Structure 1
């Protein structure tokens, strides 16, 4: 059995100490961008047990008045991309025009979209259990000029 040299033990101790300090600093002052030394908020926080849970979707209304779910399959845009930039769409709903263009490019033969909107469905929660009640909120909407 080989033994670690004195120098090797010191290097390991210093590396362990540095990793520990980074972990502690990241825990106290870090953000998601500092992961793995900062908290990954998705797993480090808990939702309000009496709040509402959000479910975001993107939908369009075509020229015939039908509501169409905008998905990665028919637009090439993942829902997470929309959710990650949701505030930018709220601030500038004209950006949703690009979603309509992506839908039309990925769905040849489909009726063109007249309107695209981001809708949040809120699900009621009480005592960490669903209440069965839900309501929709349109947070951004674009209509073709």
Structure 2
């Protein structure tokens, strides 16, 4: 049976103490960006049992007036990318022009888009159960000049 040398045990104890201190510091002062040494808030918090649930989508209106769902398949853009930068789109709606460009590059046979918008569908929640009520909120919209 092999045993660790005194030096080997000291290295392991030191490594364990360093990782433990990083975990403690991350827990007390860390953010999601510090994961795995910081708390990953998505799993460490619970939603309000009476709060509304958000479902964000991106949609466009083509030159013929039809509403088109903008998906990863027809634009190459993941919904999470849009949600993660949503405030930047609100601050500068012209950025949505890039969504139109991505859609047209990935969907060459489709009618061109005139307008693109980020829409949030809110689902009513009461006592941690859906109420069946929902409503849409247009967060930001941009129309091609």
Shorter chain as denominator, the TM-score bin is over 0.9
Mapped partners of 1:90, 1:17: distance in 2 = 45
Mapped partners of 1:56, 1:17: distance in 2 = 43
Where does residue 140 of structure 2 map in the other structure?
Answer: 140
Where does residue 80 of structure 1 map in the other structure?
Answer: 80
Moved beyond 3 Å, runs of 4+: none
Residue 105 of structure 1 and its aligned partner are, at CA, apart by 1.4
Mapped partners of 1:109, 1:11: distance in 2 = 62
Mapped partners of 1:65, 1:50: distance in 2 = 37
Mapped partners of 2:111, 2:77: distance in 1 = 18
Mapped partners of 1:57, 1:136: distance in 2 = 10
Is 2:49 the counterpart of 1:49? yes
1:3 aligned counterpart, secondary structure: coil
Mapped partners of 2:8, 2:67: distance in 1 = 66
Please, what TM-score do these two structures have when normalized by structure 1? 0.97
Mapped partners of 2:81, 2:34: distance in 1 = 21
Where does residue 112 of structure 1 map in the other structure?
Answer: 112
Mapped partners of 2:102, 2:6: distance in 1 = 62
Structure 1: gaps of 5 or more residues: none
Where does residue 95 of structure 2 map in the other structure?
Answer: 95
Mapped partners of 2:104, 2:5: distance in 1 = 66
Q: How many residues align?
A: 145
Structure 2: gaps of 5 or more residues: none
Where does residue 68 of structure 2 map in the other structure?
Answer: 68
Where does residue 37 of structure 1 map in the other structure?
Answer: 37
Please, what TM-score do these two structures have when normalized by structure 2? 0.97
Where does residue 9 of structure 1 map in the other structure?
Answer: 9
Residue 76 of structure 1 and its aligned partner are, at CA, apart by 1.0
Provide, for residues 86-120 of structure 1, a one-character-per-residue CA deviation record: whole Å limited to 9, x for no partner. 00001111100111111111111211111100000
